[in-house]
Structure 1
């Protein structure tokens, strides 16, 4: 069955959407959308690193995402505002990455495949990596759940409860970097942040507990992956953007339902 590229694409989209959907609520709660966007923009720099040093795409993108996190922490500690620091890092990394990719040796590189994804070319190895990352994210969330929720609700309460808030933030950053690194093959650097934000935003008006928001965000993410791929097949449109379009339609429907229910 896995020899069928459509099945591999479906499983890849589902794996990325579930991993992103699980982390999305924390990104929304902590207002880290721009941070995730900066990591995603830096993924193109990671592509250039992987081409230049002939290393795995996953390793190159993961390194660039972690580099963004380190630069952000360094700049904010030097009294730079968070939004300014992220703006400088995100756009600089994207620009340098595009230039470096264009200058890479060998056959001309299809930059659009990295910007918008090429999920139909996912291999068995890619699929294994995607679902391995999804499993790691799930295991980490289960392990650190109480500490993460307490930190989200109140960093001060988390500190007084004995949790290391810097360690929890670092864990979330690492998890986001992993998801960005595997998501670039499925939906691309410019769209992976959408899968972190849109399913969580769609779930938010309909839940009252963190557990329920995670569960509903996972549902919206899975729906976007399946519906987006089906839409791409029927309409002959790019798969990655189609997945995000499906997520956007789900968000619009969610907001409409919330308005009807008076929420």
Structure 2
């Protein structure tokens, strides 16, 4: 029989993977990996503020991630720096400020390793409720803007001409990204969130025949990565969060093996 904490860890990881897979497809299609890193690093600043102000950690991380995203959009319109330079500036600045804030709060004991790399084995029933309720809200929101968001990804000008309001879809996508990072932080940590978003989606691209199919395959590969990573962590006594990412990397490596007679139907 499996221990309760391990069952909770499995359920938490599966819940995050089901949400991260479809959302990660848009990150891959839009080449926004660095943007995801920036929001993930901002999560540590959200944790520091939640401890300082004694507010809910998930809500604080969500609020800080949205604030960083809005700041990025605002600075991007000034055109004083390139987008990659802005991403690097905000990403590392948010991470550094978060670490400095945590260092100043000497009256609070903080598990920094758990924040950076996740502590999925310590997931509580309340965390599970947050993951599944928040994940359901994110998937519902993604389904509502899927058509407009995909059109904006393929051709923003054409999407605007057809009245799909791509700017609104992009803004809502940013909110969904912040939501996923807020609920996934405890599972894989600040430094590994982007990996769980990107790697299953990148592996699914090889086998997909369309965008919806790629989203489903990415979610499935994410679930398999969680299960394989946790069982590997249990058997080999390795850190749980990194083990999940390593399992995802193994699936990605397998997806690169040439399959004779099989041709990729859908590229972009």
Tell me, yes or no, whether TM beats 0.5. Answer: yes
* Rounded Cα–Cα distance in structure 2 between residues aligned with 1:255 and 1:165: 33
Q: Does 1:138 align with 2:139?
A: yes
State the Cα distance separating 1:2 from its structure 2 match.
11
For residues 71 and 2 of structure 2, the distance between their equivalents in structure 1, rounded to whole angstroms, comes to: 40
Aligned to 1:15: 15
Matches within 5 A, 1:165-244: 165-244=166-245
1:14-34 per-position Cα deviation (integer Å, ceiling 9, x unaligned): 111111111011111111110
Aligned partners of 2:43 and 2:190 also within 8 Å: yes
Q: 1:107 to 1:252 in 2, by over 3 A?
A: same
Task: Provide the TM-score with structure 2 as the length reference.
Answer: 0.94
Query: C-alpha separation between the residues in 2 aligned to 1:23 and 1:184?
Result: 15
Decide whether aligned partners of structure 1 residues 59 and 258 sit closer, same or farther in structure 2, where only a CA change above 3 A counts.
Answer: farther
- TM-score normalized by the length of structure 1: 0.96
Deviation (angstroms), 1:106: 2.1
| Range 189-198 or range 151-160, more displaced | 151-160
Q: State the Cα distance separating 1:5 from its structure 2 match.
A: 0.9
Q: Distance in 2 between matches of 1:259 and 1:100?
A: 54
Gaps of 5+ in 2: none
CA distance in 2, matches of 1:36, 1:129: 21
Shift of the 198–94 alpha-carbon distance from structure 1 to 2, 3 Å rule, reads: same
Distance 1:48 1:214, change over 3 A: same
1:260 shift after superposition:
8.2
Give the Cα–Cα distance (whole angstroms) in 2 for the partners of residues 145 and 262 of structure 1. 26
Stretches of structure 1 that go unaligned for 5 or more consecutive residues are: none
Paired residue total = 263
Deviates more, 1:3-12 or 1:18-27: 3-12
Cα deviation, residue 3, structure 1: 8.1
- Counterpart of 2:31? 31
* CA distances 1:29-58 after superposition (whole Å, capped 9, x unpaired): 111110000000111111110111111110
1:22-61 aligned within 5 A:
22-61=22-61
Aligned-partner Cα distance in 2 for 1:48–1:85: 23
What is the distance in 2 between the residues matched to 1:221 and 1:38?
22
